[in-house]
Amino acid sequence: MSWPWEIYALDATERQARRVSLDRYAAYAQLSALLPIAIVVLYRLELWLAKRFSSPREVEYLAVPTSPALKQTRESRAGSWAGTARKVAWWLGEDVVFLSVNWGQRDQILAGVGWTVWLVFLCMVGTGKDYLHLTKRFGSVALSQLPMQYLLALKSINPVAFALGSSHEQVNRWHRVLGWVIYFLLFAHACLYLNFYVHEGVLTAQLVRLIPALGISGFIGMSLMNTTALRAIRKYSYRVFFITHLAVAMLLPPVIFFHSHHGGRQYVVEALLVFFIDLIKRKFDTVTAPATLELIPDTSLIKIVINIPAKKLNRFRKYAGMHVYLSIPAAARRTASAAFLLFEFAFNPFTIASMDDESGDLTLVARHQKGPMTRTLAGFAENGLSSIRIPLSIEGPYGCASHFPNLAGPEFDRVLLVAGGVGATFILPLYRAVARVQMVWAVRGAGDATWPVSGTAGSILDDGNIHLFLTGDDFTGPNAVSSSNNEDDAVELSSNMHTGAEHNRRRPDLRKIVDDLFRQGVEDRVAVLVCGPEEMARELRSYVGYWVEKGRNVWWHNESFAW
């Protein structure tokens, strides 16, 4: 062969030495995955200790926008470093879009490349010229990452999220990165072995043997998992992605267990163990309760009201902006069919739009899409069942909101909330919980903004801090606004709409909204949260980024159910 590695026979002692080396470097790879987490944990511990044992200081009025103290802090060496750190963090959080495809954020790509380089180094170091040692090393190092890969995907019991003071949604992005790294290592492992079989002239004979066949099957499963995880596939059919992901996640460990008969099985056992512990915990946390469903007139929205048992209420009302996974239990399914079995694997995320502490009613708002879940929910509402209580199951709550800074506290001087369509189910609960806040809400049609009016919420049209934009459909009734053929046209609604006042046809001017917000105070600390279409969030971030580059202190959050 024309490269540094050679294929040669080893005696029993040399094979045992190779096995020890494989196990040792696989262990290095697994332990090194814990190092970044340990560093963050130590940093958080240091901050906690500093805060816990620091001497109390005289209260300073730092919240005043023109405060000289804030300006002095910003212009100090520490303030300059803090500003630079914020700019770097913002740059790392930017999306990388190439050929109209979003490839992820910069920090994910850089971390993924860096981690791949490190693991490839562990795959190569100490292998000498032994081609099979190199080939097996790629497989064993990839296998060592499986437990961490499964840990990062856990929803209910996620020790990584707990250690980082984060949430499942925030660590799940690293689950995706590690998945591609593992796939690359397994791809190299498979290619090197296939090349070995071809070189030895035994390809056909080896592919029909159990061990190689299991390896090929596992690699095909990983390929299906990663292919269906691509954004285009997920956008076309999230159900295909979800079912493929779940099926491969359950079948892959047994396949690898019997394939890796010489070593590394402990990693498979660890992965399966954490997977099933989390699955059992989620089953115990699932609440099945009666629900009423109704279609919101002149929209494609479905309002779902679930009556939560009193003993389960606390977990759902603790934080605003959380979401649950909704499923249809067997008792609510009509016939035994393929669709009946499909719902065993159907869990759709919906944000908690409101929680009534007195009645125990939890409200969700869903848009009728082409998928089986929302189609079935719409069927319940359409077929005269709006007054009948139908059992539905919800699991959660989950979400980043439990780890948000105190938006209503002294950490921020101004808060901007931006919602697109049903993204308001996330934004509105935060709006109700936070003072000194401005909210922008863009909806397709007037009816899409009617669901929060009922109950104790009051009419959002009477709130001067909410700027509501109509981006497409007709207004029904005597004050109807004519529709436009241009989807970019919009109508800003206010309480004056009931008087038949004229309105400007325009999209929400996000640039002007952002600029006006930041110009109100040079030293203001600003929080910006958005939940809506990807294009809206990306446009808003570009406008906010201009002010970050100017040194402004911004906390940003984009709520998305992309995964």
Q: Give pLDDT, residue 385.
A: 57
Q: Give pLDDT, residue 475.
A: 33
Question: What is the C-alpha to C-alpha distance for residues 269 and 253, in angstroms, rounded to an integer?
Answer: 8
- Per DSSP, what are the bridge partners of residue 469? 442, 492
Q: Give the pLDDT of the chain (563 residues) as one tens digit per residue.
A: 466 788 888 888 988 999 999 999 999 999 999 888 888 888 888 888 887 776 554 444 444 444 565 666 666 667 678 888 889 999 999 988 887 777 888 999 999 999 999 999 999 999 988 999 999 999 999 999 999 999 998 888 888 888 888 888 888 889 999 999 999 999 999 999 999 999 889 998 988 899 999 999 999 999 999 888 887 787 777 778 888 888 888 888 889 888 887 778 888 888 888 888 888 888 888 999 999 998 888 888 899 999 998 888 888 888 888 999 998 888 887 765 556 667 777 788 889 988 888 888 999 998 887 777 888 888 888 765 556 788 999 998 988 888 888 888 888 889 999 998 888 889 988 988 886 688 888 887 777 777 775 444 445 666 778 888 887 643 333 333 333 333 333 333 333 333 332 333 467 889 999 999 999 888 888 999 999 888 899 999 999 999 999 989 999 999 875 54
Q: Give pLDDT, residue 455.
A: 45
Question: What is the C-alpha to C-alpha distance for residues 443 and 470, in angstroms, rounded to an integer?
Answer: 5
378 in Cβ contact with 304 (< 8 Å)? no
Q: Give pLDDT, residue 506.
A: 60
Please compute Rg for the chain using Cα positions: 27
Residue whose C-alpha is closest to residue 40's, from 182, 137, 221, 165: 165
Q: Give pLDDT, residue 563.
A: 44
Question: What is the C-alpha to C-alpha distance for residues 257 and 238, in angstroms, rounded to an integer?
Answer: 29
Question: What is the C-alpha to C-alpha distance for residues 265 and 2, in angstroms, rounded to an integer?
Answer: 34
- Write the DSSP string, 89-153: HHHHTSEEEETTEEEEEHHHHHHHHHHHHHHHHHHHTT-TTBHHHHHHHHHHHHHHTHHHHHHHH
Label residues 256-265 b or e (16+ Cβ within 10 Å = b).
Answer: bbebbeebbb
Question: What is the C-alpha to C-alpha distance for residues 445 and 465, in angstroms, rounded to an integer?
Answer: 20
pTM for this prediction = 0.83
Question: What is the C-alpha to C-alpha distance for residues 319 and 321, in angstroms, rounded to an integer?
Answer: 7
Q: Give pLDDT, residue 452.
A: 78
> Is residue 78 within a helix (H) or strand (E), and if so which, with residue range?
helix 77-92
123 in Cβ contact with 138 (< 8 Å)? yes
For 420, what's the count of Cα atoms within 13 Å in the CB-facing half-sphere? 20
Q: Give pLDDT, residue 261.
A: 74
Neighbours of 108 (CB within 10 A): 19
Neighbouring residues of 108: CB distance < 8 A, sequence distance ≥ 6: 173, 174, 176, 177
Question: What is the C-alpha to C-alpha distance for residues 80 and 78, in angstroms, rounded to an integer?
Answer: 5
The one-letter amino acid code at 85 reads A
User: Which residue has 């072995």 as its token pair?
Assistant: 193
Helices (DSSP H) in 229-261: which residue ranges? 231-236, 238-259
> Is residue 366 within a helix (H) or strand (E), and if so which, with residue range?
strand 361-367
Instruction: Sort strands 466-470 and 390-398 into parallel, antiparallel or unpaired.
Output: unpaired
